[in-house]
Amino acid sequence: MSLKDIHHRRRKLTAITSAPIPYSFFVVALAIFWMPVSSMAREVSRAQFHSSRLIRVLEGLAVADIADSRQSFGERLAQWLDFKDAISLYSVLHGDLSDGASRSPAVGARSPQEELRRVRDSLIEAIRTDTQLDLHEAADGANLSSDVEGEFLPYHRAYLTHQRSMQSALGGLRAQVRAALAERSASGRRLAALDSVLEQSLAARERSLLALLPVLLRKHFEHLLLTRGSVIAEDSIQEAPFGGWLPGFCRDVQAVLIAELDLRLQPVFGLMDALGKGVTEQQ
């Protein structure tokens, strides 16, 4: 490939990332990177992403140091997408989707709003009723050793289980909302197709970054185990069992899981917003 070809491809990618793209569809990608951007594309107002619930929770646990990025939205996005992704985005943004057929929802199926509520409530209930994260059991029966790796392993497994549940349930939900949006208009089909391409393009990076969350929780667990746990054990005045800090840790794990769920739902919320307002050809 010649230098001229490389230059042409770079110019094409820059043009794609500068195209008008709805803010909602990129919130998840930006927040996952923990790199709040200082500027967006021309069509999007300037915003900071420290308001992400997940970022606030991680900062509160002192396990993540989040710095501002000086790169523009287009520059940052260009690093996340390869050339094939850029071509797919270009096709969606500039191609003709008027002939795209969409399936009608099955008779008796829940509305997107009802399904969103059901899926979210179900996932939150599973987090709050997880026996591994039960606050009372943690307070009653925890006698932990100083083996951080071994003691944290059950919590790591529990976290991964919830992540798999989220990925499975939200994938189907997102597809359902996309289908409903695609039935509204040609612009709705374009938004739905755009979300589908972004989901596929960012999926691998999203998984790799969300996999860091239990790693950060392990760091938090180690700090509590080797500091607060040892202090309680050596304190002759208090008769609290070694590991009396565990209920608080379990509560922290639940908070991170629910914040991750909120993050994963951002693309769905964006689609629901477009579905609720109605997407017209003028938009």
**H-state helical runs in the chain:** 3-17, 24-32, 53-60, 73-80, 83-94, 112-128, 135-141, 148-182, 186-210, 213-223, 229-234, 246-264, 266-277
CA distance 9 to 108: 48
Residue 221 is assigned to a structural domain of this protein: yes
Per-residue pLDDT, 280: 43
Residue 47 is assigned to a structural domain of this protein: yes
Per-residue pLDDT, 70: 73
Per-residue pLDDT, 151: 86
Residue 196 is assigned to a structural domain of this protein: yes
Per-residue pLDDT, 208: 92
pLDDT tens-digit map of 78-109? 778 887 888 888 888 887 766 544 454 543 46
Per-residue pLDDT, 210: 95
Residue 282 is assigned to a structural domain of this protein: no
Residue 28 is assigned to a structural domain of this protein: yes
Residue 192 is assigned to a structural domain of this protein: yes
Structural domain containing residue 80: 3-277
Would you state the torsion angle of the CA atoms of residues 163, 265, 26, 68, taken in this order, to the nearest 10 degrees?
-70
CA distance 138 to 44: 46
Residue 240 is assigned to a structural domain of this protein: yes
Amino acid identity, position 19: A
Would you state the torsion angle of the CA atoms of residues 10, 12, 14, 20, taken in this order, to the nearest 10 degrees?
-170
- Structural domains of the chain, count: 1
Cα 168–170–175 angle (5° rounding)? 105
CA distance 177 to 196: 11
Residue 251 is assigned to a structural domain of this protein: yes
Q: Which stretches of the chain drop beneath a pLDDT of 70?
A: 1-51, 66-69, 73, 97-109, 139-145, 228-244, 278-283
Per-residue pLDDT, 237: 34
